[in-house]
Amino acid sequence: MNCIYVLRLGHRPERDKRITTHVALVARAFGAQGFMLEGDDRNILATVKDVTKRWGSKGFKSGAVNDGKAYVEKWKRGHGKVAHLTMYGLNISSMPRLPSPKKLLIVVGAEKVDRWYYDNADYNIAIGNQPHSEVSALAIFLDRLGRGRELDRGFAGAKIRIIPQKAGKKVVGR
């Protein structure tokens, strides 16, 4: 089984609060094993830990890193590969095969990402070359890496869970 982590760069606490939270929830829901936030925003990490506690974890980890570049370098020293998601990269739909190394770090930026990441990533991948969102880019990338199978996996240790309904809501264990 592969190990996939997501590193979120350039988070601005006021402006990016909800987007960064959604990036973290996508990481968890679409089968990554961890979410790392460059910089310090305790509210977001608390929200992610709270979701993980209530909805189950499958061992999902989250935390903060001081320096994204140092984290990328450490990852590479540990024989991991780095995929940077950017609309300027090679279009995922033109790739005959997605990279699937044993250890993959997916780097997701905010508005502006330092050139260093483009040069040091093993892959710069565009989820299409049109503007949309880091939330959707990460989701599509993980969905394709997991070949669409991640969306019906169970989460160990869940306190609450949804019973899918044709209409209305059913939640058990609340």
Residue 83 binds to a second copy (criterion: CB under 8 A) = no
CA distances for 11 relative to 2, 5, 96, angstroms: 27, 17, 32
**Long-range contacts of 95-102, Cβ-Cβ distance < 8 Å, separation of 24 or more:** 95/125, 98/144, 98/145, 99/123, 100/2, 100/145, 101/2, 102/2, 102/3
Q: Which is nearer to a second copy, 121 or 145 (CB)?
A: 121
* Contact pattern from residue 50 through residue 69 relative to a second copy, giving x for each residue in contact according to CB under 8 A and a dash for the rest: -x---x--------------
State the nearest-atom distance from the C-beta of 52 to a second copy, in Å: 10
Residue 77 binds to a second copy (criterion: CB under 8 A) = no
Residue 43 binds to a second copy (criterion: CB under 8 A) = no
* Contact pattern from residue 88 through residue 127 relative to a second copy, giving x for each residue in contact according to CB under 8 A and a dash for the rest: xxxxxxx--------------------x--xx-x--x-xx
Q: Which stretch binds a second copy (CB under 8 A): 38-46, 67-75, 96-104, 161-169?
A: 161-169
Euclidean distance between the first and the last CA atom of the chain, given in angstroms as a whole number: 32
* 19: exposed, middle or buried (Cβ count in 10 Å: 0-12, 13-18, 19+): middle
Helix H segments across 30-160? 42-55, 68-77, 115-120, 134-145
Q: Which residue has the tokens 């709270």?
A: 50
Residues that bind a second copy (CB under 8 A): 15-16, 18-19, 22, 25-26, 28-30, 51, 55, 86-94, 115, 118-119, 121, 124, 126-133, 135-136, 138-140, 143-144, 148-152, 155, 161-162, 164-171
